[in-house]
Amino acid sequence: MAIVTFSSPLMHKDKAVYAIAGDTKTALALAEENRIPIPFECRDGNCGSCLIEVSYDDPETKKAIMLTDKEKMTLKELGKITAEEIENAEVNDMPPRYRLACQFIARDENVTISFTGTPGGS
């Protein structure tokens, strides 16, 4: 079970929710279920509205990074991922700082997800 903590200036205080192990819910789906107002449009990794910053509570427990070509492309267009971060994700399983909430799935690791509330503006 992973604890996902959402943090945003739009929220009175941070909110921690549980992501069940083996669950394939995206951070966006988890946020919606818990009435956390991450902006979104396409839900498909194309628009970049759901940009989030992800930090790992315990970097040692990081799992394989699922970064699709679509997500890489959108993050690149937003200027939120470097070629070095892409290589690090693919070769060393080092997660990039920014992700798309509609693509990111928290697995067993505890994470904090921050967003500004401005579409694409994390």
Tell me the window of 14-22, 37-45, 60-68, 77-85 that interacts with ligand FES (CB under 6 A): 37-45
56-71 burial, b for 16+ CB within 10 Å, e for fewer?
Answer: eeeeeebeeeebeeeb
Nearest to 82 by CA among 97, 65, 66: 97
Whether 113 contacts 101, CB under 8 Å: yes
Q: Does residue 49 interact with ligand FES by CB under 6 A?
A: yes
Name the minimum Å distance from CB 67 to ligand FES: 13
Q: Does residue 113 interact with ligand FES by CB under 6 A?
A: no
Q: Does residue 102 interact with ligand FES by CB under 6 A?
A: yes
Whether 68 contacts 99, CB under 8 Å: no
The tokens describing 70, both together, are: 């679509």
CB count within 10 Å of CB 112 equals 17
Q: Does residue 42 interact with ligand FES by CB under 6 A?
A: yes
Q: Does residue 36 interact with ligand FES by CB under 6 A?
A: no
- Contacts with ligand FES by CB under 6 A: the residue count is 13
Q: Does residue 100 interact with ligand FES by CB under 6 A?
A: yes
What is the contact surface with ligand FES in residues (CB under 6 A)?
Answer: 40-43, 45-50, 74, 100, 102
